[in-house]
Amino acid sequence: MRSALPLLTTLLLSSVALFATAIAAEPRPNILLILADDMGWGDLRCHGNDRLDTPVLDKLKSQSVELDHFYVSPICSPTRSSLLSGRHHLRLRVINTTNALEVMHGDEVTIAEALKPAGYATGCFGKWHNGSNHPSTARGQGFDEFFGFNGGFFSNYFDPELEHNGVVARRPGFITDVIADAALAFIERQRAHPFFCYVPFNACHSPMQAPAELFAKYRQRGFAPMEAAVYAMVENLDYNTGRLLAKLDELGLAANTLVLFASDNGPNSRRFNGGMRGAKASVFEGGMRVPCFIRWPGRLEAGKVVAEITQHVDVLPTLLDFAGVSRPPGPPLDGMSLVPLLRGTAKAWPERTLFDVSGRGGKDGTPLPLYPGTARTPTHRWVHDGKQEYLFDLRTDPGETNNLLAQEPPLAAKLAGAYERWFREATAPTAGKVKRFPITLTDGTELPVPNAELQGGARFFGKGWDYDWATGFDSPNAAIVWNLEVPRSATYEVTVLHTAKSAGGLVRVEVGGNTVQGAITAAHEPPEIPRPDLVPRWEVPDKVFRPLDIGRIVIPAGEHELKVTATTGVEIQTVKLHRISAAK
């Protein structure tokens, strides 16, 4: 008897082709992708938080298909890179939120880069956090327009200094309102043809700053300052989401605009989260399960709930599928299109196991830690938090309180083995070791200290996050080191942003066999800049660093280490390189 497999394969391929043709025949939808920052699953009234007001997002949920078990990574940059590329962040070497381990390589194909050839205008408004130097910036990764900031957090939410296509200027207002203003202007300008508007708000990330009237409202409801500030930012985000949706209505675009709302990880404090275990940075359920609503009026069933497990890597293939756009050639995707689930046309759905890890760092060449990590099946979650192993049946124990490791050792061993195989395969390109991408020099390149390796006793003033600086130049071996990729030999002007306890110190820059140094002519010990923090910040304080122009240096083409050393009493935040001519 002849096998039925060839016939089944032919029928399946024909069905896929007809489905793709049907989608392509429809008008291509505009896409509005809104991403909250550090907002948990429980930060919505519609998810049971009845002391919080989120009327817009509650209504959006009722108008949308809800992915009820939508998972992201436990921290920020990994989620953003996976969401934009459809590939797991571990493959992308995006393994942390700082120290150049948040950088997504420019060769990765993003949603924006896939949509542009199909005639989409592309704009990103808010927090990028996947690289601050071209080609790893938003504009280097396919966005025509970028308005916002590149780092992991922003220091002052009132009248912020934000970048617009390379130009930094102060913008009056509260940062979430300002970001929404820019996105609204983009939608207005691009109303006549398809657009992809990506709005990664930075609410409700720290530092804890919020509109005063909203903060007072939640304090009056009995919340401690931390929760009051978070909920004030969430309500303001809800309001600005409403402004974006109202603009679609005003312009007659709502019917042909697909709106996707999600968050980048679990909540950034211990607060209501639907009884789930864990928060941001945790590989338990509460650190990774977030809200996800997808609305397309008349095309997707309002109020539908999808129970199957889904993940951030599914966003790219899903959006491209809805748009009838093929992804340009590139490495294989980890995600899958959710269109059949969303449309309700899936007769069967493959059983998946979703893997992820928590953030990790280290020096280049050191082994990537295997744990903390997790494997999530449709029914169970296996977790190794770095100290202990767990197995939970989420059908009966959604709060992950009953460790079944001793009762179900075969299942635990099976998931542990699957996780280890996935981890080894995903990290194979770097042999399971930490490996940063070098920073590509352009006409103007800024090298912030958090993206460097500190050696010989030099240390970060804080934790190596944004706005941090290097101190501890008490020995001749103390140094800051960046890895550079130089496309062509050129002469650069070097400026160092610094503080100094006294005049007479030196700053020295070495790269590619050449050296330049400058003398500090005056002390500069700036005070902390007051900021409207509602809760003491855990990031470093803000202060003004003085520029020191130390001269010109020739940097030859190729890969090089740029090393900065200084004398005792000097602190360094950033090195700026401005190309002035090609080297002779």
How would you class 238 by CB atoms within 10 Å of its CB: exposed for 0-12, middle for 13-18, buried for 19 or more? buried
Q: Which tokens is 325 given?
A: 């756009």
pLDDT of residue 9: 32
Q: Taking the domains of the chain in order of start, what are their residue ranges?
A: 31-343, 354-430, 439-582
Contact 266, 75 (CB under 8 A): no
pLDDT value of residue 581: 82
DSSP string spanning 244-284? HHHHHHHTT-GGGEEEEEEESSS-SSS--STT-S--TT-SS
For 375-403, write each residue's pLDDT tens digit.
999 999 999 999 999 999 999 999 999 99
Query: Which residues, at least 6 apart from 213, have a Cβ–Cβ distance to it below 8 Å?
Result: none
Does residue 354 sit in helix, strand or coil? strand
pLDDT of residue 154: 96
**Confidence at 7, pLDDT banded by 50, 70, 90:** very low
Amino acid code (one letter) for 472: G
Residue written as token pair 């700026």: 576
pLDDT, tens digit (0-9, with 9 covering 90-100), for 197-241: 999 999 999 999 999 999 999 999 999 999 999 999 999 999 999
Cα–Cα dist 374/389, whole Å:
10
Confidence of residue 582 (pLDDT cuts 50, 70, 90): confident
pLDDT score at 200: 98
Q: Does the structure show a pLDDT above 90 at 17?
A: no
Q: CB count, 10 Å around CB of 188?
A: 11
pLDDT at 431: 96
Residue burial 305-319, b: 16+ Cβ < 10 Å; e: rest: ebebbbbbbbbbbbb
- Is residue 484 predicted with pLDDT exceeding 70? yes
Question: At residue 18, does pLDDT exceed 50?
Answer: no
- Please enumerate in sequence order all residues whose Cβ is within 8 A of that of 556, keeping only pairs 6 or more positions apart, or say none: 486, 489, 512, 513, 583
- Give the pLDDT band of residue 494 (cuts 50, 70, 90): very high
Question: Predicted confidence band at 22 (pLDDT cuts at 50, 70, 90)?
Answer: very low
Q: Which two tokens stand for residue 94?
A: 């995006």
- Name which of 117-131, 234-248, 337-351, 570-584 the model is least confident about: 570-584
Residue 569: the pLDDT is 96
Per-residue pLDDT at 381 = 98
Secondary-structure percent of the chain, ordered helix, strand, coil, rounded to 5: 25, 25, 45
Answer for the pair 87, 424: CB distance below 8 angstroms, yes or no. no
- The helix or strand, by DSSP H or E, that contains position 578, with its residue range, turns out to be strand 570-582
pLDDT above 50 for 497: yes
Give DSSP secondary structure letters for 306-364: EEEEEEGGGHHHHHHHHHT-PPPS-SPPS----HHHHHT--S------EEEE------T
Rounded to the nearest angstrom, the gap between the alpha carbon of residue 365 and the centroid of all alpha carbons in its chain is 24
What pLDDT sits at residue 25?
A: 52
Q: What is the pLDDT of residues 512-555, one digit of tens each?
A: 999 999 999 999 999 999 999 999 999 999 999 999 999 999 99
Main-chain dihedrals φ then ψ at residue 305, nearest 5 degrees: -120, 125
Helix or strand holding residue 390 (H, E): strand 389-393
Instruction: Give the domain 354-430 fold.
Output: Arylsulfatase, C-terminal domain (3.30.1120)
pLDDT, tens digit, 9 for 90 and up, residues 403-445 = 999 999 999 999 999 999 999 999 999 999 999 999 999 999 9
Question: Which value, in Å, is the radius of gyration of the alpha carbons in the chain?
Answer: 25
Nearest to 412 by CA among 391, 384, 387, 436: 391
Question: No. of H helices and E strands in the chain?
Answer: 12, 27
Check residue 10 and give its pLDDT.
35
Structure tokens at 234: 């969430």
Q: Is the pLDDT of residue 63 over 50?
A: yes
Average pLDDT, stretch 551-575?
Answer: 97
Name the pLDDT band for 20 (thresholds 50, 70, 90): very low
Q: Which two tokens stand for residue 54?
A: 């989120």
CA 197/CA 189 separation, integer angstroms: 12
Percent of the chain with pLDDT over 70: 95
Sort 41 into a burial class: Cβ within 10 Å, 0-12 / 13-18 / 19+: buried
Positive or negative CA dihedral for 152, 154, 157, 159?
negative
Q: Could you please state the CATH topology (level 3) that the domain comprising 31-343 is classified under.
A: Alkaline Phosphatase, subunit A (3.40.720)
Cα–Cα distance measured from residue 272 to residue 266, given in angstroms and rounded to the nearest whole number: 11
**Run of H or E residues at 239:** helix 225-250
Place of tokens 């995006």: 94
Residue 12 has pLDDT above 60, yes or no: no
CATH for the 439-582 domain, from 2.60.120.260, 3.40.50.1110, 3.30.360.10, 3.30.70.260:
2.60.120.260
Question: Whose CA is closest to 266, among 36, 48, 103?
Answer: 36
Q: How high is the pLDDT of residue 347?
A: 87
CB 42 within 8 A of CB 48: yes
- Rounded-to-integer distance, Cα 124 and Cα 145, Å: 6
Question: What is this structure's pTM?
Answer: 0.94
pLDDT at 360: 81
| pLDDT of residue 509 exceeding 60 | yes
Are 572 and 496 in contact by the 8 Å Cβ rule? The answer is yes
Q: How sure is the predictor about 5, in pLDDT bands with cuts at 50, 70 and 90?
A: very low
Residue 436, SS3 per DSSP: coil
Q: What is the mean pLDDT of residues 253-277?
A: 98
Q: Where are the alpha helices (DSSP H) in 330-450?
A: 339-343, 409-426
CB-based contacts of 333, cutoff 8 Å, min separation 6 = 86, 87, 313, 316, 317, 327
Residues involved in catalysis: 76, 129
